Amino acid sequence: MRVFLFALQWDDNVYRKRRAWRLISRRVWSMKMSKVRTRFAPSPTGYMHVGNLRTALYAYLTAKHENGTFILRIEDTDQGRIVDGAVDVIYQTLKENGMIWDEGPDVGGDYGPYVQSERMGIFKDYALQLVEKGEAYYCFCTTERLEKLHEEQRAAGAAVGNYDRHCRNLDKEEIQRRLDAGEPYVIRQKMPTEGTTKFVDLIYGEVEVKNSELEDQILIKSDGMPTYNFANVVDDHLMGITHVVRGNEYLSSSPKYNLLYKAFGWEPPVYIHCPPVMKDAHTKLSKRNGDASYQDLVAKGYLKEAILNYLLLLGWSPKGDEEYFTLDEMIKLWNPAWINKSPAIFDIVKLRAFNATYINRMSNEEFTKIARPYVESVVKRPIDMDLLCANLKPRCEILSDIPERVAFIQEMPEYSLELYRNKKFKTDERGALTALEKLAPALDALQEWNRDAIYGACAPVIAELGVKAGWALYPLGIALSGMTATPGGGTDVAAIIGKELTMERLNDALARLRAEL
């Protein structure tokens, strides 16, 4: 009953809209009230795609919203792509984002092993079971014959790749004879040839294909190893996965998966296919195209919380207008039925905005802690780090913005006197000269050197000149930084860089103005 209730809560309205509600609820009913178990099954390639991370998040949330179990399974059977330390990247990424798995290679569990390469021995027996049930068969066709077949198909303009089911009805004696003779073989699934197969996806609803479209797919390769599709189904079943969360590139092969479950007599999982994360309208986001991975984004100064939060909303949306969530809030709110159907373009500009907000919401202390290394990478002088960081916080969107914003502290940049011209304050080089000439002695006389004291020293000068504060303080900022955008106003900059450097730069600026005007 509980399961049924959460199904309603998840989907309620969506059911009707998709016209699949009956099927889904029947499916959920027949889950026998089992605890929700989801898995994230990445291959260890050495980095984490943002799309992968999002899939992991969705799988994690789907389990945790129901107090279920989140499982990590490493799919390391991709021959070419094994990278040292790659598994650690997966562990690290998941961990630092708080997505703690309940079962996995390192923590174990009752359904191990959780590394696919260690499971290779178990699949053939399952395939043989299918052969015995008449759901699969031995195929002795050679690669040469298949190639020839494909060539003929090409020549005839037909669909290439469809196996002609040559070995589908070999008689028992012949099979035994060829097996005994040690002929190499594969095991193929016996697909239905007529009718249709449908399955229900939680996101896409009912998906139906004609069985005539389905090939007698290979389950066990001639080296005795399972194909990915077969291993996946068996693993998911053996591990008790109730909800399969994966990319929608699997959508069109899901009927085949379902037929496999059916052939075994197993209960299929709830399918949750997620739309792809795109780089632009035409291409998927991928490391191969040089697109940023999660690691790259972190290295560029994006906060992991901001990345995760942004990813949550890329293809999923909650009911209200709130966009900022902690992981715990995500878990409470999560409803997989609210995942979108259409592809979403990864927008770095919006991520930057999220990042800026996350930075802005930090305490000054927290921010100073993470910003300090970026500051110190370019600034080697003694400065008021706390004041600098307090001013930097609302002014930087990503951490890697910091060096260019503070580089002027270490070394005055080349700058044009035109910077002193400002429409808003109705000032120019001459005005700047006037202001700075008055400001310099006032500052020089100052004993105490902090933001308030500095402003206190400037205020009488401003009053005396009868101008707006900015008229005098804007030029001060330019004189001290050579830039129009600085971490704080003129008095902030002075306080940050200290009296000695302030006076030095002020005098340099005065000398230059006098010389060039």
Burial of 1 (0-12, 13-18, 19+ CB in 10 A): exposed
Which residue's CB is nearer to RNA, number 94 or number 472?
A: 472
CB of 351 to RNA, least distance (A): 8
Question: Does residue number 148 form part of the binding site for RNA (CB under 7 A)?
Answer: no
What DSSP state is assigned to residue 401? G
Cβ-contact 396, 356 below 8 angstroms: yes
Which residue's CB is nearer to RNA, number 70 or number 425?
A: 425
CB of 25 to RNA, least distance (A): 15
Strand ranges in 202-334 using DSSP code E only, listed in sequence order: 205-210, 218-220, 243-247, 270-274, 277-278
CB of 505 to RNA, least distance (A): 15
Of 34, 92, 142, 326, the residue at the interface with RNA (CB under 7 A) is 142
Q: Which stretch binds RNA (CB under 7 A): 89-97, 262-270, 287-295, 487-495?
A: 487-495
Quick one: which H or E segment has residue 197? strand 196-201
Tell me which residues in 287-306 interact with RNA (CB under 7 A): none
CB of 200 to RNA, least distance (A): 11
Q: Which stretch binds RNA (CB under 7 A): 86-94, 104-112, 244-252, 327-335?
A: 244-252
Question: Does residue number 189 form part of the binding site for RNA (CB under 7 A)?
Answer: no
What DSSP state is assigned to residue 488? S
* Angle between helix 429-444 and 451-465 (nearest 10): 130
Rounded Cα–Cα distance for residues 80 and 38 (Å): 27
Of 23, 25, 31, 43, the residue at the interface with RNA (CB under 7 A) is 43
What DSSP state is assigned to residue 266? P
Tell me which residues in 90-109 interact with RNA (CB under 7 A): none
CB of 345 to RNA, least distance (A): 3
CB of 262 to RNA, least distance (A): 18
Of 269, 358, 489, 513, the residue at the interface with RNA (CB under 7 A) is 489
Question: Does residue number 160 form part of the binding site for RNA (CB under 7 A)?
Answer: yes
Size of site (CB under 7 A) for RNA: 96
Which residue's CB is nearer to RNA, number 68 or number 119?
A: 119
Question: Does residue number 14 form part of the binding site for RNA (CB under 7 A)?
Answer: yes
Catalytic residue status for 287: yes
Tell me which residues in 122-141 interact with RNA (CB under 7 A): 141
Of 215, 267, 428, 504, the residue at the interface with RNA (CB under 7 A) is 215
Tell me which residues in 363-392 interact with RNA (CB under 7 A): 391
Question: Does residue number 313 form part of the binding site for RNA (CB under 7 A)?
Answer: yes
CB of 448 to RNA, least distance (A): 14
Cβ-contact 157, 128 below 8 angstroms: no
Tokens of 141: 């066709």
CB of 34 to RNA, least distance (A): 26
Tell me which residues in 326-345 interact with RNA (CB under 7 A): 338, 340-345
The alpha carbons of the chain give a radius of gyration, in whole angstroms, of: 33
Question: Does residue number 40 form part of the binding site for RNA (CB under 7 A)?
Answer: no
Question: Does residue number 88 form part of the binding site for RNA (CB under 7 A)?
Answer: no
Cβ-contact 269, 297 below 8 angstroms: no
Question: Does residue number 58 form part of the binding site for RNA (CB under 7 A)?
Answer: no
Catalytic residue among 190, 256, 284, 287: 287
Q: How many residues does the chain have?
A: 517
Q: Which residues pair with 74 in a beta bridge?
A: 115
Which residue's CB is nearer to RNA, number 15 or number 68?
A: 15
Tokens of 501: 């450097």
Q: Is the dihedral of CA 359, 364, 366, 372 positive or negative?
A: positive
Of 349, 418, 447, 466, the residue at the interface with RNA (CB under 7 A) is 349
Residues 6+ apart with CB under 8 A from 160: 150, 153, 154
The contact mask relative to RNA for 431-460 (x = CB under 7 A, - = no) is: --------------------xx--x-----
Phi, psi dihedrals of residue 217, rounded to the nearest 5°: -70, 150
Q: How far is CA 79 from CA 42, 47, 48, 227, 287, in A?
A: 14, 17, 19, 12, 19
CB of 276 to RNA, least distance (A): 5
Q: How far is CA 234 from CA 38, 57, 78, 127, in A?
A: 15, 23, 17, 10
SS3 473: helix
Strands 205-210 and 196-201: antiparallel
Of 469, 498, 499, 503, the residue at the interface with RNA (CB under 7 A) is 469
Strands 69-72 and 37-40: parallel
Question: Does residue number 179 form part of the binding site for RNA (CB under 7 A)?
Answer: no
Phi, psi dihedrals of residue 504, rounded to the nearest 5°: -60, -50
Question: Does residue number 410 form part of the binding site for RNA (CB under 7 A)?
Answer: no
What residues act catalytically?
287
